Structure formats: structure tokens, C-alpha cells
Homo-oligomer: A and B are copies of this chain.
Amino acid sequence: MPETAVAVRELTLGEAVREALAEEMRRDSRVFIMGEDVAEAGTAFKVLSGLVQEFGPDRVLDTPISEPGFTGIGVGAGMTGMRPVVDIMFGDFAGLIMDQMANQAAKIHYMSGGKWKCSMVLRTTLGATRRSAAQHSQSLHAWFCHIPGLKVVMPSTPYDAKGLLKSAIRDDNPVVFYEDKMMYKLKGPVPEEDYTIPLGVADVKRQGDDITIIATSSMVQVALGAARLLEEQGVSAEVVDPRTLWPLDEKTLIDSAKKTSRVIVVDEGYGRYGATAELASVIQENAFFDLEAPVKRMGAMHVPIPFSPPLEDATVPNERTVCEAALALCGK
């Protein structure tokens, strides 16, 4: 975050996303948005309201409900001079577009020996506890992270969302950009002036000495909340946000692990074969001899996400469960 004496403006994460898009669209006429209900409706989450009024329906395109098709059109447009920002309403629909993303977008540069590039951003959402049930609540970013050729961005604050989205749009590779549905209304400082945040640079969201909590997207706020609870118990937690899962800033993660010697990794995707496994592995591979305890993983339960509120709430980590895990790891 930039150091400044005067109080900076506050925006919600949704507003930060919209502002990043508007600024990039003004800056570069090749940037356009396509997806379901993105124009007049401004998406199901109203994140894009106003953009079609400024940029017109040629640059903010409502599509049919054809995720494979319009993602593919995005790939082709991104290869031939445009900079598409493709909107996939719910991250759960990833299952429909993995061929386009993993077999086409991700591979074109390599398969062509570096000749074609595919500059596109796929914006989508993650996050449960919205009472949307099993097909509208998943956080499936691990699928994309697994595929060489893709980049995966997971902002946790309005400031990061804006700076990272601008970098994603300017990037010459296919980038998957995740927004937590539950964080759209989260407010935070976002300066007026133009800035970008490079992909591949983690951010220490909170300094601490006793334990490192590596958290992504939605789970960063949970981790910060847990850190406050831990503070009360005399445990000083460091919260590290990788911000992009690929490229991954391993060094910042490892350095923090070495410093504190205890690590929890928290991510909202399913815990099994998920992003936490990679992050935990990076830590244990590189900080093994500095660790006092095994790296603890916390992700969504290995169950389809239930509708019923008390059940759904049990499936994802929260401040209390992260705090408890941290205390246990510290032997308290």
C-alpha cells in the first residue's frame, strides 16, 4: 500500500474492479468485456454497472449462455489484437471452459513455439456461505493453477484487486482473475492515481513472529481476524497473502515460514488436492529444517457445499477455527 499522509479514498472491492476496468478501457481501445448480463445489468453482482453506458455495447457485450463458446471467442480475440476480459459469472462454471482455458489459451504460445500470444483475462468468482448450494459456491482455482501457461490472481483487498486487475489486463498471457463474491462490498483504501501491482509478488498483510498464516482471497480477511484473536491470546501471527497463485512468490512465503517456524495455509477451495497442498509443499520443501511442526492445511471440507446454513458454515474455515488451529500448532 502506498505511504501517504492524507487519508486515501475508500472503495469497495466491486468498485475497485470496475474502476480498474474503466481505466484500462479508456487507456487501451483493444480492451473489451464479454459475458452474460454484463451490459445493462452490469453482471449478476452489479459489479460492472455503468460501463456499457460509457463504452457502448461494442465493448461491453452481453452474450448468450454459452460459456465454452464465448471463452473460446475470447481466446481467439486475444490472439489477434484485442484484449478481452471474459466474465464467467460463477467460478463453478469452470467445468464448462477448462478445454478452452487449459487446452487452447494456456498452450497456444508454447505450441506455436512462442509465435502466437493469447492476451486475455478471465474474471470469475469464488466463495461459499452465500446459501447458493453446491453448484454456485465452489472455489475451483486449483484447476487453473495446475495448468502451465495460465496465471492465477486472487486479490484480497480493494487495493490489490485494482492494481492486480490492471496488471492482468496488460499481461500478454491468459490470466484467471478471481473475485470473492462475499468480498464485493468490502471497503478499503484505493488511491486515485494510476498504479499497478506486479503479478508474482506476495504481500505480508500483517507482521508477526510466532506463526505464519498464508491465506488467499476470501481467507485473508479470515486470517487477519484470526490474527486479532490470537493477539489476545499472546500469539503474534504473520499473515502472508501470495496474491497470485501463479506466478507464485515462493521466497516471501518461505522467508516468513523460516522466521516464525510454524505455518498454516488457508484457502477456500476444497482442501483435498487443492491449492493448500501446493503452498504447504513449497514450505516444507524449502523451510523443512526451520519448522517446529508440520505445515497445517485448512481448506473447504471434502464435501459438496450444502445449502443448509448451519451445514454450509461448517464447511469453510473461519476466524475461530483458524485461531484454534494456530493455538494448537503453537502448543497452546
Contacts and interface: CB of A to CB of B under 8 A. Distances in A.
Interface of A: 92-103, 106-107, 110-111, 133-135, 140, 142-143, 145-149, 245-246, 269-270, 272-278, 280-281, 284-286, 288, 291, 293-297, 301-304, 306
B273 A304 contact: no
Contacts of A277: 273, 277-278, 280-281
A143 B143 contact: yes
A274 to B, nearest CB: 6
Contacts of A133: 111
13 contacts: A98-B98, A98-B143, A103-B134, A110-B134, A143-B146, A146-B274, A273-B277, A274-B278, A277-B277, A281-B295, A281-B297, A285-B294, A288-B293
A257 to B, nearest CB: 12
Given A280-B277, A281-B297, A148 B302 contact: yes
A304 B143 contact: no
Contacts of A142: 142, 146, 273
B285 A135 contact: no
Given A111-B135, A246-B272, A285-B297, 10 more contacts: A95-B99, A107-B135, A107-B304, A111-B134, A273-B275, A274-B278, A277-B281, A280-B285, A284-B294, A285-B296
A146 B302 CA distance: 8
A110 to B, nearest CB: 4
Contacts of A98: 94-96, 98, 143
A280 B295 CA distance: 11
A301 B147 CA distance: 10
A132 to B, nearest CB: 12
Contacts of A146: 140, 142-143, 269-270, 272-274
A295 B295 CA distance: 12
A169 B97 CA distance: 28
A293 B285 CA distance: 9
